[in-house]
Structure 1
Amino acid sequence: MDSADAGGTAPAGRPVGTRLPPGDFGVVLAALRARRGWSVREFARRANVSEGQICNLESGVRNPTPAVAAACDKAFGTGGDLVELAGDGRRGARAEAVVDAGPVIAGYERILRELKDIGRSNGPRSVTASMKSITRVLTDAAPRAVGEQRAQIWLLASRFAEYTGWMAQEAGNPAEALRWTSIAVRWGADGGDETVAAYALVRRALIAQHRGDTRAAIDFADRAARHPAAGPVIRAHAARRAAQGHARLGEAEACREALERFRSHAAEVTDARVPHWGPRVENGNPRLIEASCMLGLRRFEEAADLFAAELRCLPAAPADSNSRARFAVRQATALAGIGGLEDACRIVEAALPVIERIDSATVRAELRRFVDLARTRKAGPGQIALLDASATLASR
C-alpha cells in the first residue's frame, strides 16, 4: 500500500499524467490517500502540513496554495500533476460553507465504491484508516454545506460509517462494529434517511449470529423486516439472516419460509440505487444462500450439490475474494460432511492464501467450522497437516 506506484501513480520521478483519479484537487487528494491506506494524520506528516489543512482541502473548503500543492505532489510522487491540477482547478472556496459540494459528493461516492472493492479483495486492514479519516472530512464539511447538499453529505458520511462498521466486524471487533453502526444511524437521520435504522437491525442480526446468539439474530432480523422504513432490499436482507439462523437451529420449515420471503422480496427490487445499505441484493445468488442454509441444517449432500452447481457457473470476480473464499470453505465443509475429505481439502488448500491475505474474522469462523467437522472424518497424513494449518489460521 505504501509503494510509489500504488493507487494509480507512476514510480518515483516519472510523471503520471492522466493516471490521476478523476475529480477536483480535494477529491483526487482523498482518492490517492485512500488507495495508500493513509490516515489524515499520516498524510499530513508526510506532506508536512497540518491535519486541518488536509481536511479543508479534501472537503473543498479551501484551495491549495502553490506550496501546499507542491508538498502534496511530493508526498504522493505524482511528478507535478497535482501542482498542475491545483492551478487548473482553483475556485472561490470560503470557510463558512462548501461552495458547490456536488463534485465533493460525487468524488467521495466513487472513493467509497473503490474502497469497498479494496476491502473485498484485501481485507479490512487495507481500508479502515482511510474510511475513518474520510468520515472526519465529510462530517467537517456537512455543517458548512447548504440546502440539499448538506443532507447528501450526511447521507454519504452515514454510508462510510456503515461500511466502517462492517470492516470492524471483519477485523473481529463486534463492539466497534456496533458503535459505527449506531453512528451510521445517527448521521443517516441527519440526512433525512431512516432506512439505515432498519438496516442497522440486519447488521445487529449478523453480529449476534457470529457471536453464537442465534435466537437474538433471528429476533433482530424479524425486527428489521417489520421496521416501518424497511423496503424490499432490507426485507430481503432480513429474510436471508432469518433463514440462516433457523437453519443453524435445525428449524427446517421456518428456514424454508424465510428463504421464500427472501426470494419474494428480492424479486420486488426494481431500483438498485435505493436504499443503498448492504450488499446488492440483485447481485446475490439465491441458490448459494439456499446451499448455505442446507449446510446449516446439516443436509450435506444437498448443500454440496448446490455449491458445486452454482460455484462452477459463478463468474470470476477477483475484486470479491472475500465472498469467493467464504463460499469455497462452505462447499468444502459440505463435502467433508458426506465423506469427500480429499476434495474438501483440495478446495481449502487453494483458498488458504486468499483467507490469509484478506484476514477476515467471519471467513476464519467458516474455516473453524470446516476444521471441526473435517476432524471427525478419517484423514491421511497430508490432510491432517492441512487441517492443522487451517486450524492455526482460523484461530489467529
Structure 2
Amino acid sequence: MDAADSGAGTALTEGSTGARLPPGDFGVVLATLRARRGWSVRELSRRANVSEGQICNLESGLRNPTSTVAAAFDAAFGAEGELVALSGAGRRRAAWAGSVVEAGPMVAGYERVLGELKDIGRSTGPGFVTSSMKTITRILTDAAPRAVGEQRAEIWLLASRFAEYTGWMAQEAGNPAEALRWTNLAVRWGAHGGDETMAAYALVRKAFIAQHRGDTCAAIRFADQAAGHPAANSVIRAHAARRAAQGHASRGDASACWDALQRFKSHAAEVTGDRAPHWGPRIENGGHRLLEASCMLSLRHFERAADLFAAEHRSAVPADSNSQARFAVRQATSLAGASHLDEACQIIETTLPVLKRIDSATARAELSRFVAQARTRKADPGQLSLINTSAALATG
C-alpha cells in the first residue's frame, strides 16, 4: 500500500460532511480532494474506474454526478458515503436564480480552500490545482451578482484573489498569455469589490511575466509603474522594487540594481509585523539577502552570489518545494559560474527529482540558466550526463 492509499481511509474521518469535506459543489470538492492526494486525472480515473473525460466534466461543473459515479469516487477517497450525500447537491447552482446568496459561509469556506490550494500548488505545481481554481472562480462570479451590499463586494474580492493565483499557475504552466488574461480578470473583479490595489499589483505580475520572456526593459517599466500607482501600498512597492532590482541586474546595471535593493529593504521594513499582504507572496519569503544573491548571479558576480546563497539558503528560503528548488538551482548556477562545478552538480542531482515533480515553467527557466553556465566549464562524463539530463528537463 502506497502513502496515498494508506491515507485514503483516514483523511475524511472526523465530523459531519461539512467539516470533513472542503466546501463547494461536487465538482469543486472532487478537484480539491484529488489535488490533496496529488493524483492526476488519469490516476483518479484508474482508481475509481470512471473515464477521464467524465472526471473533467464533473470538476468543471459541466455535468452532475450520478449516485453510482459518486459512490465510485467515495470508495477511491475513503469518504465513507460523504461524496454520495454531496452528489444530491450537484444542481444547487440552478437554485440561485432569483434568490439572494448568503456570502458569509461561502467566503469563509473558499478562503480556507484558497489557502489549501496555494499550499498544494507550491509543492506539486499547477497541474493539480488549476481545475479547482477555475471551478471555484466560476462559482464565485456566478454568486456575486446574487449577493447584496458588502457581501457582494466580499465575493468579488475573493474571486479576484482566486483569479490572481490562477494567473500565477498559468505562468507556472508556461502560458504567459493565459496568465495575463487571468491577471486582467483579477483587476476587474477587484474593482467590482471596491479594491483598486489589485490594479497596482497586476503591474508587478506583468513585470514578472516580462522578465521571464526576457524583456527586461518592459519588466523595469512595469515595476516602476507599479511603484508609482496611486493604489500601491508598501507591500506592492516592495514587490515592485524586487522586480526592478532583478531587471536592472539582468541588464548589467549594478548601480540601478543597488538602488532598487535599498528601496526593497525600506518598503519591506514598513510592513514588518503587519497583517499578511492581500496580494502576492509574503514579503519575508526570500528576504533581501536572497534577493541580493539573485541579483549578484544576474550581474555575474558568481562568488558573491554563491556565498550569499550558502549563508541564506537554510534560514531564508520558504519551505515549499517550488521555492526550495528554484533557489537551489540558482545556488548551483552561482557555483558553476565560480568554477565549482562538482558542488553545483551535487545540488542539481538532489534537486532534479523535485523539479520533475512540480513541473514549473519558472523553475525550468532557472534550470536553463544552470545548463548554459555549466556548459562553459570542463565537465567529466558523469557531470556532462547530469547537465544533459538537466537540459532535457529544462526544455520540457
TM-superposed CA distance for 1:284, in Å, is 3.3
RMSD value, Cα: 3.1
Instruction: Specify the code of the residue in structure 1 equivalent to 2:392.
Output: T
Match of 1:388 in 2: 388
Which 5+ residue runs of structure 2 have no aligned equivalent?
42-52
Cα gap change, 1:18 to 1:44, in 2 (>3 Å)? farther
Could you list the per-position Cα deviations for residues 145-202 of structure 1 after superposition, in whole angstroms to 9, with x for gaps in the alignment?
1111111111111111111111111111111111111111111111111000000100
Which 5+ residue runs of structure 1 have no aligned equivalent?
55-66
| Maintained 8 Å contact 2:24/2:136 | no
TM-superposed CA distance for 1:81, in Å, is 3.5
Partners of 1:19 and 1:311 in 2: how far apart?
Answer: 42
Match of 1:80 in 2: 81
- In the alignment, structure 1 residue 130 sits paired with structure 2 residue 127: no
TM-superposed CA distance for 1:125, in Å, is 0.9
Cα gap change, 1:21 to 1:43, in 2 (>3 Å)? farther
Match of 2:229 in 1: 227
Partners of 1:216 and 1:45 in 2: how far apart?
Answer: 39
| Maintained 8 Å contact 2:12/2:20 | no
After TM superposition, the score normalised by the length of structure 1 is 0.85
**Greater Cα offset, 356-365 or 15-24:** 15-24
Could you list the per-position Cα deviations for residues 347-394 of structure 1 after superposition, in whole angstroms to 9, with x for gaps in the alignment?
001000100111111111110111111111111010000000000000
Match of 2:327 in 1: 327
Cα gap change, 1:326 to 1:253, in 2 (>3 Å)? same
Match of 2:253 in 1: 251
| Maintained 8 Å contact 1:247/1:255 | yes
Cα gap change, 1:146 to 1:71, in 2 (>3 Å)? farther
Matched-pair identity in %: 64
Match of 2:176 in 1: 174
Task: Within 5 Å, give how 1:60-139 maps onto structure 2.
Answer: 72=70, 75-77=73-75, 78-81=79-82, 95-139=97-141
Partners of 2:115 and 2:297 in 1: how far apart?
Answer: 31
Cα gap change, 1:150 to 1:52, in 2 (>3 Å)? farther
| Maintained 8 Å contact 2:163/2:185 | yes
Match of 2:199 in 1: 197
TM-superposed CA distance for 1:313, in Å, is 3.0
Cα gap change, 1:342 to 1:169, in 2 (>3 Å)? same
| Maintained 8 Å contact 1:25/1:82 | no
Match of 1:60 in 2: none
Match of 2:24 in 1: 27
Partners of 1:208 and 1:20 in 2: how far apart?
Answer: 44
TM-superposed CA distance for 1:20, in Å, is 6.1
| Maintained 8 Å contact 1:195/1:275 | no
| Maintained 8 Å contact 1:196/1:277 | yes
| Maintained 8 Å contact 1:272/1:280 | no
Match of 2:47 in 1: none
Cα gap change, 1:228 to 1:294, in 2 (>3 Å)? same
Match of 2:376 in 1: 376
TM-superposed CA distance for 1:10, in Å, is 1.9
Equivalent residues, number: 371
Cα gap change, 1:248 to 1:326, in 2 (>3 Å)? same
Instruction: Specify the code of the residue in structure 2 equivalent to 1:76.
Output: D
Instruction: Specify the code of the residue in structure 2 equivalent to 1:269.
Output: V
**Greater Cα offset, 29-38 or 354-363:** 29-38
Cα gap change, 1:147 to 1:24, in 2 (>3 Å)? farther
TM-superposed CA distance for 1:241, in Å, is 0.2
Partners of 1:21 and 1:310 in 2: how far apart?
Answer: 42
Partners of 1:236 and 1:163 in 2: how far apart?
Answer: 19
TM-superposed CA distance for 1:133, in Å, is 1.1
Could you list the per-position Cα deviations for residues 99-146 of structure 1 after superposition, in whole angstroms to 9, with x for gaps in the alignment?
432111011011111111111101111111111111111111111111
Cα gap change, 1:200 to 1:98, in 2 (>3 Å)? same
